[in-house]
Amino acid sequence: MLKQRVITALILLAILLPALFYTGSSTPFAVLMLIFMAAGAWEWGRLNGFGQMGSLVVGGVCTVLCAASWWAGWLQQPLGAFGMLWVIAGGMWVLGGGLLLRAGVAGWPHIPAAVRLVGGVLALWVAWMAVVQARNVGINFLLSMLVLVWVADVFAYFAGRTFGLKFTKNKLAPTVSPGKSWEGVWGGMLGVIALALLWVWADRHYGAGVPSFYSVLQSRGTWFLLLAVVFMAAMSVVGDLVESLIKRSVGVKDSSGLLPGHGGVLDRIDALLPTLPLAMMLSSFVHP
């Protein structure tokens, strides 16, 4: 299994990195992300009880939404151009994520099927819009957003394994994801705080041509930066827990087997789905 995971990860990096760092335009990256989101929408159809053909239609609808946005020129707009979109998407993630986790695994089937289906496709579309527009702002800006989620996950894992249940008596969400602890969440938050401060220093020290997400936030003050990254770390946990809740509700371990050793696309991007539009929302507050 470990060998399979490593091979899959290396293949993904070999595909992702050239597209990400391609200097001619952001088109290769946008196309690659569109493929990932379409695959995620196909998985979403399956999680909602659709067969192969129905799931392909769901993936096609997501593809059309992304392509239409691209054709309309929305991706080339300045950073704050879609502030209202990011606010609505971010608000839906904060409120909807909280309500879903409060309702628990048993609450998912009571949501109307149409609402579940449309909500998932729109979440994937908005995430695609956010990640591609972030790439158009600059590689430093985009990478700082992505690394935040990865650092939060890594620090949460090691903090949870080291300190789990040593300071609290209850796990974070035992019926949704039994392995997660509050200590892990706090460790992830400390990790992203350290990351943000280090990245801001690096931007200044090396004279970054394009500011990172953290430097954008820092322009409103260190207090705003620290609050924002802690909030982002918390929402990355919400994204992870929401997908775990849905999988438990439908009785599957992985969203699919598209990525051998890693599960499906949704398993890899669950924490990014809320954090990408929220990062754009916070950035638009600074640069409206």
Tell me: pLDDT of 288 over 60.
Answer: no
The closest alpha carbon to 198, from 144, 261, 137, 266, belongs to 144
The gap from C-alpha 191 to its chain's centroid, in whole angstroms, comes to: 17
Two tokens, residue 135: 């790439």
Mean pLDDT across 221-237: 96
The closest alpha carbon to 125, from 202, 174, 64, 206, belongs to 64
State whether residue 229 is helix, strand or coil. helix
Start-to-end CA span in the chain (Å):
47
Mean pLDDT across 146-159: 95
Task: State the alpha helices, DSSP H only, in the chain.
Answer: 2-21, 27-47, 52-71, 83-103, 113-137, 139-163, 182-206, 213-218, 222-250, 265-269, 272-286
In degrees to the nearest 10, what's the CA dihedral of 132, 74, 275, 48?
A: -90
Mean pLDDT of the chain: 92
Question: Which pLDDT value is given to residue 169?
Answer: 82
188-219 tens-digit pLDDT: 999 999 999 999 999 999 999 999 999 999 99
Question: Which pLDDT value is given to residue 287?
Answer: 72
CB 213 within 8 A of CB 141: yes
In degrees to the nearest 10, what's the CA dihedral of 36, 41, 47, 53?
A: -110
72-131 tens-digit pLDDT: 888 777 776 788 899 999 999 999 999 999 999 999 999 999 999 999 999 999 999 999
Tell me: pLDDT of 69 over 90.
Answer: yes
Question: Which pLDDT value is given to residue 41?
Answer: 97
Residue 98 CB contacts under 8 Å (≥ 6 apart), including other chains: 238
CB 266 within 8 A of CB 43: yes
pLDDT band at 2 (very low <50, low <70, confident <90, very high): low
Mean pLDDT across 231-259: 94
